[in-house]
Amino acid sequence: MRVVVVGAGAWGLPAAAELARRGHDVSLLDRYGPANQLSSSSGPTRIWRLSHPDRLRVRLAVRSEEAWERLESISGITAHLRRGLLWRDTTTWQHVADALEAEGVERTVVDPDDVGRWFPGLRPDGRPAVWQADAGPVLSNHALDAQISLLATARGELVTGVHVREVDPSGTAVVVRGADGRTFEAEVVVLAPGPGAEPLLRPLGVDIPFTPMLEQVCHVGRDSATDDLPCIYEGPIGDEPGMYGMPTPGRGYKLGIDRQLRTYRDDDHDRVPDPGITAAISARAARAFESIDPTVVDAQVCTWTDSPDGRFVIDTIYDGRIVVAAGDSGEGFKYSALMGPVLADLAEGATPDDDIAALGLARFADGASRTRPTLGH
């Protein structure tokens, strides 16, 4: 089967690699290439975790952990580490504990004054927490390298410099047209365009208000001093936004806060960090941790795309000839290894299981409103 995949990020690249491994003729198109600094998938680490107040996300995360292990077994590249995660929040901790328990995932409810036993050096602030051991950093560059290797080994084609402007399913083949006039034909097209989702999908009848944005993260601490610390999610407290963090081996402790830098624009290539957000992250680290030097080592601006309700949008349209994968909502990379087989199955015409079907377009049949909660990354 001839397949074109649009977008060489955390979802499109694994889909292309998996389809090529299954023997299909695959071309993967991207404007700049995998892990470029303008993409949603650049940077050294992301969090993987089972903890979430949404039981669907817990189930998908369990499947994702299995997919990470499979990727590592096939590629020989270590792509994720286990460090555990402490979820501290006043409003969502009970929902997280209940969702994990309902799905049979072991967890520990932590008293407010006992958080330092689970996260060394974390200062108590009166809020309870939930500890879950199945979490840690995804080594995102390693993960993408593993998928690139699998794609190349399976003789899949990576074509960069293609700014896809249109997907046309009106003929016998689905035609993908680039801004430079190049065209690519396929029996099936997988669309994983990240922040470019809405302008490609709207002409295809998928009229969902995606919200692409720029956010900023920083590394604090010194070199390898934080390598063995767990990950953390902290809900908003007072006027301060939520915070999330993870160790980046050899580089420091990566922290982000739930504060949008600005709305994404296609012609905005400025990725200079904002000094105000850098200072806010450093100050938050100083208040929260005794064990982490709040000195900022580096800062990075990244991209993500919210769906209206915070869940991914995964479905097929045009009788299965186009696979839609959009709306990462700041959590896409932790499911990256799983998206390869999920999107490949859909491209091959498989019926989605109940959990994948729950991510489909049918939930927007009565219109889409922006109801996404802020839940961390």
Count of Cβ atoms closer than 10 Å to residue 194 Cβ: 28
The CATH architecture annotation of domain 2-42+142-209+309-364 reads 3-Layer(bba) Sandwich (3.50)
Indicate the pTM of the whole model.
Answer: 0.96
C-alpha distances in Å from residue 253, one per residue of 11, 90, 231 = 25, 24, 9
| Cα–Cα distance measured from residue 179 to residue 162, given in angstroms and rounded to the nearest whole number | 7
pLDDT tens-place values along the chain, 377 residues long: 999 999 999 999 999 999 999 999 999 999 999 998 888 888 999 999 999 999 999 999 999 999 999 999 999 999 999 999 999 999 999 999 999 999 999 999 999 999 999 999 999 999 999 999 999 999 999 999 999 999 999 999 999 999 999 999 999 999 999 999 999 999 999 999 999 999 999 999 999 999 999 999 999 997 788 999 999 999 999 999 999 999 999 999 999 999 999 999 999 999 999 999 999 999 999 999 999 999 999 999 999 999 999 999 999 999 999 999 999 999 999 999 999 999 999 999 999 999 999 999 999 988 655 444 444 45
Is 149 within 8 Å of 22 (Cβ atoms)? no
Q: Are strands 2-6 and 25-30 parallel, antiparallel or unpaired?
A: parallel
C-alpha distances in Å from residue 106, one per residue of 51, 96, 130, 131, 198 = 10, 12, 11, 9, 39
Domain boundaries, the chain: 2-42+142-209+309-364, 82-137+211-306
- The H or E element that residue 323 is part of is strand 322-326
The CATH architecture annotation of domain 82-137+211-306 reads 2-Layer Sandwich (3.30)
Q: Are strands 164-168 and 262-263 parallel, antiparallel or unpaired?
A: unpaired
Is 38 within 8 Å of 269 (Cβ atoms)? yes
- Residue 242 CB partners (closer than 8 Å, separation 6+): 89, 233, 234, 235, 236, 257, 258, 374, 375, 376
Residue type for position 221? G
